[in-house]
Structure 1
Amino acid sequence: MNPLLELTRIVQAAAQASAHTEQVELIVESIHRAIGVDVCSLYISQPDHGMLLAASHGLDPQSVGHTLLPEGTGLVGLAARSRHPVNIAEAAAHPDFRYIAETHEEAFHSFCGVPLVRGGEVIGVLVVQAREARLMSEEELAFLVTLSAQLALVLPADPQQFSNALSATRRLRGVKGAPGIGIGKVQMCDQFDLYSVSDKACDDPEAALGRWYALLEQVSAEVEAERRSLGSDVSDSVAAVFSAYQMLLADNHLRQGVAERIRNGQWLPGALRQTVQHFADIFLAMEDPYLRARHEDIYHLGNKLYSAWAGDNDTGALPGDGPIVLVGSKVSVSDIASCDPARLQGIVCFEGSTLSHTAVLANALGVPAVMGTGAIKAVSNGDPVIVDGNVGQIILHPPLSVKKEFRRLQQADRTLQGELAELVNEPATTTDGERVRLYANTGLLADISPGIANGAEGVGLYRTEMPFMVAETFPSEDEQEFIYSQVLKAYAGKPVYMRTLDIGGDKPLPYFPIEEENPALGWRGIRFCLDNSSLMMTQLRAMLRAAGEADNLRILLPMVSNTGEIDRLRLLLDDALTQLREEGYLVQRPPVGIMVEVPAAISLLPTWATRIDFVSIGSNDLSQYLLALDRNNPRVASAYDHLHPAVLREVSRIALCARDSGLPLSLCGEMASDPAAVLVLAGLGVRTLSMSASKIPRIKWLLRSIAAADATTLAQQVLQMEDAAGIREVLQQALRERGLGRLLGDQ
């Protein structure tokens, strides 16, 4: 046996299996053949901490999927709790041996169990047995240990999926796309997939070019019709999503990119796929989750163009008038618009994030959505499903009792939404009179209206990267000024914190490629802008012109780590003001502050107090850099938690420094919309929070329901704790005790 070859073969076969049951069956059969044992079984840890016999070669087939060992029971339990291989020649003689009659394992004497561990937790035990009383050899044991480590990474993240795969009901986790609960029947989307198109020679380029330009006109008309189908009273945020599609359709880079590939001999679908993939990959490679999510918009539009080319006139809608849940890899805006709004109860995307346009539209329409579930096997039109957007889960084939409970939760959720709507014009003031300002994060013009509608008191983070990402060249000063002025005018009289261009190695531009081995620590943020001072000057001039004599512009500097960066920026700003005034523009100097996201900035804050006007904590990057964890890496993402004691203590340190220096302090990022974290932030004296617009009402309700003094006591308590899980438990219990359990999904 070639161990390396066998390992690779088994792991690849398991990873490519089309269903969970097929996956575990492949594993046990492959190991049986590889090392010639009489029995190979796989036990999977269950939510009740028992071990389910998920697959076996050699034991009674009737016991598979039914034999459940209580936690810590038998030799399987010994391997799990010891987290160490158990290799025994005569299993029945061991004091931990437990005979399981239904498996008919009495014929087998030896036992070797190896735990499968992922993220520090035992998710299963791999067992081999032989008729003869013998120990597994060192070579065999080494093979099993190595294989188990690799299989632990291949098996699904939720072990319950194995027990679910053996029954009708399946509970799957994703991420929260839009809040609420929806109950209906599955309607599958994704009849066409542009990325599956192969390359092919074009027989008649001129005819293909004509068809391409006709397609653009056709799809543009369809997008407009879809927008109208949602009604004349459609919100600005929904209309803006469709406007974004129209802008992409009119984008010269997209139009000419496809045309050029056709002229070079590629057939139209292949040219479209190559062009769409090119732009989508640029966004997909970006570290910023907001910008990364824009790749879905490019894909959706490409798929719509391809569907139009293929003549897709069949919506595939389920007959009747019952409730529908749209399900697919990337449910598009067009899929949503073409669905009867009276029937649409939920959306499930195998891919995607909370920042995708699908999620934005779902939020605006009030349709529950769950994103990023991963591919769901054996799901088809008509399957009953529950979408729980409050916690990010779906339940396929739910029993009647579960449906009844979720209908009760639906009603409770509607009641809460009604209560929150009444607070939109009320201030976020604690019960003991402390005022907290709630701002919105934004980056697209489509995001402006939701912030205002949800009671945002300003923009705490405006990402200026988008115009640079969709252009063919660096956007001009006039182009930038036009965009910035719309945001500043929409929030007239309210502060708008505009972050200067945050691009670099992690956010490459199609016309300015940068390659780095470690882009997160590379040429990005303020470093990139100062090295390209002409770009920085153009952006500063555009911001100043957009603001004019209004006083709501704030300039926010990203990734600052040393004093020289601030000083150089201040000189550029002085120069920009001088230039514009000499040119006759009426402009004024705006406040300038920094984002604290690089740990080095924390120690230097006291020395910067005379150089800056405010401080904004970028909690996502700060947490990531402090913990040395990539929250987008599935192998370590579970260890990422902004309630980690080190993160909380550094936020406390920043808050104290800002207070002592007289610097206004705000915080943006996921912490600002996490109810448990907000308790701590309120207790630490953070009085400005910036978050996604949809999260503002719930955080406002929280703040209006607590006393700042009470939050201070809680903050001091958790600052003495040493474990993120324990901190979260204490804070969630505190929310429940104060009648705020509904913010955690309680009803």
Structure 2
Amino acid sequence: MLETLRQIVQEVNAASDLGEALEIIVSRVRDAMGTEVCSVYLCDPGEERFVFRATEGLNKDQIGVASLMAGEGLVGTVAEREEPLNLENAENHPAFRFFPDLGEDAYHSFLGVPIIHQRRVLGVLVVQQAERRRFDESDEAFLVTMSAQLAAIIAHARVTGAVDVDEAAGSGAPAKISGVAGAAGIAIGTAFIISPGADLYAVPSKTITDRRSEVHAFREALGKVRDDIEEVADNLGGELSPEDHALFDVYLGILDDSAIGREVVTLIKGGEWAQGALSQVMIEHIRHFERMEHSYLKERAVDIKDLGTRVLAYLQAEDKAEHVYPDNAILVGEELTASSLGEIPREKLAGLISVRGSGNSHVAILARAMGIPTVMGALDLPYRRLQGRELVIDGYNGAVHLNPLPEVRARFKEILDADLALSKDLESLRDLPCETLDGHRMPLWVNTGLQADITRSLEQGAEGVGLYRTEVPFLLRERFPSEEEQRQIYRNQLEAFAPRPVTMRTLDIGGDKALPYFPIEEDNPFLGWRGIRVTLDHPEIFLAQVRAMLKANAGLGNLRIMLPMICSISELDEALELIHRSHREILQEGIDTELPMIGVMVEVPSAVYQARALARRVDFLSVGSNDLTQYLLAVDRNNARVADLYHSMHPAVLSALEMVANAARAEGKKVGICGELAGDPEGAVLLLAMGYDILSMNATSLPKVKQALRSVNMAESQALLQEVLAMEDAGAIHARLESFLADHGMEKFIHNPVA
């Protein structure tokens, strides 16, 4: 059975579309289980009906016609209960319903299993047999395993647009796709699809009019790849046998314009752009070879994929320079990255949608810093079909509206106008102090990383920088910046904010922040080599960065250094030793600069429990609540499948935050917080009550937090804290905080979803 399952899965994964995959499954499963019927019913999200979509053994004329509601008939019962149903005499079950047109009257035995993806029932997989018998445990286990494979295929097909979530989504009719809130705000604009570099499977379909230039671009890219291969063949000519060298002739034969090239040109002449035509043809050939039994022929799929990727890379290099972004562009991609933001002029960018990733992934954090409405984890988005379509982003509730109805668009336009008006009203707070009604002062600092953050932060009245992400300049380069390049970057930051303090976090890469020139490949990157672990293992990187910071601080004196991902005292001691060594070296070079304040980020559970010991050795503590929440709840913040489990108001998170504040206070040290919770008016009220000394946030959040704290007094915030600390559910805590804001005239900070 295992070998059979492996073969079926391999064939299904090589299918060109969902329809072909379903046909393979019903045929192969029927044969493998020795049954007479195998069928698949898929859920139509628009009508909540389960539609007959594929069969071997029943009437194929009913495909796409017959359907059942959840709870209707045996199929509907399987869907409603979300568990297998194994019957010896199907007609005796109380939920049995006879469909004469399906031709199933001869079949008595029934085994149906739900097809479930991320808690949603996508369909039902059924086998039937005339003989009255109960299918055994191995049959049931085999079908359950098959349904799990099918669930992933259906979900992927919907994401890539191979089948729409709702047929309306691809046709121009309205559709709403749920995701995860990435950055607050409303955006109304035109979709612009971003494809990852040279990925044949991520190229969207696009219609073009200038077919001649697309054919020319394809043939030019083809020629460049042919030249590359000939050059490689020549370079290796003396090291390979004639037989090995003949492999390059095979490569060149595949590229021949009379073979695959001709198919691509035919599609282009039919109106498909060169990248889309190449992708479609190459994927079809890859799947063809992958289905072959002979191992040698199967390996040719790798060669074809490699060639296609090489040609695509040249096409994308040419296309990149010719990008014409529409006004109010909404960037859409399978997995947007920080570099995606740097490729489009800021004045053209209205919003971001990423199919993968969560609200706390790195690109979402940057989007919040830049004030760009963003939805992450929109797994059901048929993104490849959206080029040029009008979209509405609801960044407050994590929803994307495709082809919105006039009344829906008008409602979002009202919210957008109200947001702009609110921002204008909050401008009057810029020069006012952040203090409660009873006079408690709370400094509000900002998180920065981009050059554009400087102006925005100062305009919003920031009193300092609680987190300068030094990895951002590293992410935007193709190599490590030199010590002098770093010094200039850091000097710009320090000078711009002087005399206000600037807290620079040492290089924090790994996890969801990978440098293209310093790849870190790990099965579990968030529990792997990241943060201080990387730089302590590479002291040359750490020393150069600290030296650059110290030199940049000469004559200014507003630098603070912060160490990320500290999980033990030994790590801290090692990092402190390197910092002191760098300072001695700088002094020996004749540069008069003082040793700055040094702090530790508390973002792993071990640091929470050792907070007092850490505080004794440094000048301040700063909580990174995003990572701390991730590690406390064991939730990957980039995984949309578990995004709803990531909750910064979780009782365990609030208890940990209070524990850190108490530990710092016991050692007489200042404690701040630079996670997203600090920029949330609800969270800010609780952090005030806990005794945090500094809140650091994205510049766009600062006015809202300031107004929230100026609307409360310390006593009532402390009473609220004690109330929520006694609560046991994150949802209940969030609801209580919303009602607290409403009671204090801050309903404008609460955004309920639009239908």
TM over 0.5, yes or no? yes
Using the size of structure 1 for normalisation, the TM-score is: 0.71
Using the size of structure 2 for normalisation, the TM-score is: 0.70
Alignment equivalent of 1:592, drawn from 598, 605, 616? 598
- Cα 1:406–1:598 shift into 2, 3 Å: closer
- Cα 1:544–1:634 shift into 2, 3 Å: same
- Say yes or no: does 1:423 pair with 2:429: yes
> Residues 267-346 of structure 1: matches in 2 within 5 Å?
309=318, 315=324, 337=345
Say if 2:389 and 2:403, in contact at 8 Å, map to a contact too. yes
| In structure 2, C-alpha distance between the alignment counterparts of 1:79 and 1:407, rounded to whole Å | 42
| In structure 1, C-alpha distance between the alignment counterparts of 2:724 and 2:100, rounded to whole Å | 50
Which amino acid is 2:113 matched to?
V
- Cα 1:46–1:164 shift into 2, 3 Å: closer
> Aligned-pair distance for 1:413?
3.2
| In structure 2, C-alpha distance between the alignment counterparts of 1:579 and 1:313, rounded to whole Å | 48
- Cα 1:31–1:424 shift into 2, 3 Å: farther
Q: Choose 562-571 or 372-381, whichever is displaced more.
A: 372-381
| In structure 1, C-alpha distance between the alignment counterparts of 2:91 and 2:708, rounded to whole Å | 58
Question: Equivalent residue for 2:651?
Answer: 645
Question: Equivalent residue for 1:165?
Answer: 167
| In structure 2, C-alpha distance between the alignment counterparts of 1:746 and 1:622, rounded to whole Å | 28
Say if 2:522 and 2:528, in contact at 8 Å, map to a contact too. yes
Question: Equivalent residue for 2:227?
Answer: 202
> Residues 212-291 of structure 1: matches in 2 within 5 Å?
none
| In structure 1, C-alpha distance between the alignment counterparts of 2:389 and 2:512, rounded to whole Å | 41
Say if 1:11 and 1:154, in contact at 8 Å, map to a contact too. no
Question: Equivalent residue for 1:495?
Answer: 501
Which amino acid is 2:564 matched to?
P
1:625-645 CA distances to partner (integer Å, 9 max, x unpaired)? 323332224554443333333
| In structure 1, C-alpha distance between the alignment counterparts of 2:632 and 2:682, rounded to whole Å | 20
Which amino acid is 1:164 matched to?
D
> Aligned-pair distance for 1:556?
0.9
Which amino acid is 2:440 matched to?
E
Q: Which runs of 5+ in 1 are unaligned?
A: 207-264, 268-272, 274-301
- Cα 1:75–1:7 shift into 2, 3 Å: farther
Say if 1:619 and 1:668, in contact at 8 Å, map to a contact too. yes
Q: Choose 308-317 or 29-38, whichever is displaced more.
A: 308-317
- Cα 1:307–1:150 shift into 2, 3 Å: closer
Question: Equivalent residue for 1:615?
Answer: 621
| In structure 2, C-alpha distance between the alignment counterparts of 1:719 and 1:66, rounded to whole Å | 53
> Aligned-pair distance for 1:411?
3.5
How many residue pairs match? The answer is: 642
Question: Equivalent residue for 2:146?
Answer: 147
> Aligned-pair distance for 1:553?
1.3
| In structure 1, C-alpha distance between the alignment counterparts of 2:134 and 2:676, rounded to whole Å | 52
Question: Equivalent residue for 2:419?
Answer: 413
Which amino acid is 2:718 matched to?
T
Say if 2:474 and 2:515, in contact at 8 Å, map to a contact too. yes
Question: Equivalent residue for 2:186?
Answer: 181
Say if 1:39 and 1:59, in contact at 8 Å, map to a contact too. no
| In structure 2, C-alpha distance between the alignment counterparts of 1:470 and 1:183, rounded to whole Å | 28
Say if 2:436 and 2:714, in contact at 8 Å, map to a contact too. yes
> Aligned-pair distance for 1:3?
5.2
Say if 2:654 and 2:725, in contact at 8 Å, map to a contact too. yes
Which amino acid is 1:138 matched to?
E
Partner secondary structure for residue 504 of structure 2 = strand
Partner secondary structure for residue 586 of structure 1 = coil
Partner secondary structure for residue 110 of structure 2 = strand
| In structure 1, C-alpha distance between the alignment counterparts of 2:618 and 2:513, rounded to whole Å | 27
| In structure 2, C-alpha distance between the alignment counterparts of 1:519 and 1:307, rounded to whole Å | 29
Which amino acid is 1:552 matched to?
N
> Residues 537-616 of structure 1: matches in 2 within 5 Å?
537-616=543-622
Question: Equivalent residue for 2:53?
Answer: 55
Say if 1:38 and 1:131, in contact at 8 Å, map to a contact too. no
What is the Cα-based RMSD across aligned positions, in Å? 4.8
| In structure 2, C-alpha distance between the alignment counterparts of 1:52 and 1:520, rounded to whole Å | 39
- Cα 1:32–1:313 shift into 2, 3 Å: same
Q: Which runs of 5+ in 2 are unaligned?
A: 201-220, 232-251, 256-274, 276-310
Alignment equivalent of 2:708, drawn from 698, 702, 705? 702
1:298-332 CA distances to partner (integer Å, 9 max, x unpaired)? xxxx9999667469769597xxxx98766666796
> Aligned-pair distance for 1:616?
0.6
| In structure 1, C-alpha distance between the alignment counterparts of 2:168 and 2:104, rounded to whole Å | 22
| In structure 1, C-alpha distance between the alignment counterparts of 2:177 and 2:493, rounded to whole Å | 39
Partner secondary structure for residue 695 of structure 2 = strand
> Residues 678-689 of structure 1: matches in 2 within 5 Å?
678-689=684-695
Say if 1:459 and 1:497, in contact at 8 Å, map to a contact too. yes
| In structure 2, C-alpha distance between the alignment counterparts of 1:715 and 1:61, rounded to whole Å | 63
| In structure 1, C-alpha distance between the alignment counterparts of 2:174 and 2:30, rounded to whole Å | 31
1:143-164 CA distances to partner (integer Å, 9 max, x unpaired)? 1111223334444399999762
- Cα 1:505–1:194 shift into 2, 3 Å: closer
> Aligned-pair distance for 1:488?
0.7
Partner secondary structure for residue 156 of structure 1 = helix
| In structure 1, C-alpha distance between the alignment counterparts of 2:709 and 2:28, rounded to whole Å | 57
Partner secondary structure for residue 172 of structure 1 = strand
- Say yes or no: does 1:743 pair with 2:749: yes
Say if 1:44 and 1:162, in contact at 8 Å, map to a contact too. no
Question: Equivalent residue for 1:91?
Answer: 90
Say if 1:60 and 1:104, in contact at 8 Å, map to a contact too. no
